[in-house]
């Protein structure tokens, strides 16, 4: 076998062994956000890949909390129901909604700004694994 063909065959074998081209594994994540112990509607929950871990092809995932504070995350890149497996930083952003959906009652609350910054969020990292997981986020009220 000529040398260039041997190297090409070796490269193909190594790529196959390394898992190149495999689809990433997904997990489903739903949960609830509570602020000062109360379910919180209209908050954006965002999972951002943890750059300190750098352990895979994760993409950001997000969801908006419903009237009862619950959410179900979906990938932002492909809109797929679920999240690519890996370690994420958890952010919660209190976004203003000019015209909330019927049934949403936005209570006065305070979500500290650091919860919206992946580098400084006080929420612990969250590991998404294949299968279903619950994520409960409790944010203390103002002091």
Mean pLDDT of 83-99: 84
pTM of the model: 0.74
- Measure the CA–CA gap between 112 and 119, rounded to whole angstroms: 14
Q: What's the domain range around 130?
A: 24-139
The pLDDT of residue 143 is above 50: yes
Asked, for residue 15, whether it belongs to a domain, the answer is no
Q: Residue 20: is its pLDDT beyond 60? A: no
The DSSP 8-state label assigned to residue 67 in this structure reads: T
Q: How many residues does the chain have?
A: 143
In a domain, 2, yes or no: no
Indicate whether 13 belongs to any domain.
no
Does any domain span residue 14? no
What domain count does the chain have? Answer: 1
Per-residue pLDDT tens for 42-69? Answer: 899 999 998 787 655 668 899 999 989 9
Q: Indicate which CATH number applies to the domain containing 112.
A: 2.60.40.10
In a domain, residue 10? The reply is no
Residue 136 near residue 31 (C-beta atoms within 8 A):
yes
Q: How far apart are CA 20 and CA 24, in angstroms?
A: 10
């Amino acid at each position: 076998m000529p040398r260039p063909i041997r190297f090409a065959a070796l490269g193909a074998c190594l790529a196959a062994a390394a898992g190149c081209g495999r689809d990433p594994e997904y997990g489903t994540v739903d949960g609830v956000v509570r602020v000062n112990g109360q379910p919180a509607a209209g908050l954006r929950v965002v999972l951002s890949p943890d750059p300190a871990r750098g352990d895979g092809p994760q993409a950001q995932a997000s969801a908006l909390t419903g009237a009862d504070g619950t959410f179900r995350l979906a990938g932002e890149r492909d809109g797929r129901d679920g999240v690519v497996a890996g370690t994420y930083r958890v952010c919660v952003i209190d976004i203003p909604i000019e015209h909330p959906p019927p049934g949403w009652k936005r209570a006065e609350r305070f979500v500290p700004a650091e919860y919206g910054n992946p580098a400084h969020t006080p929420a612990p990292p969250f590991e998404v694994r294949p299968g279903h997981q619950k994520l409960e986020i409790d944010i203390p009220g103002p002091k």
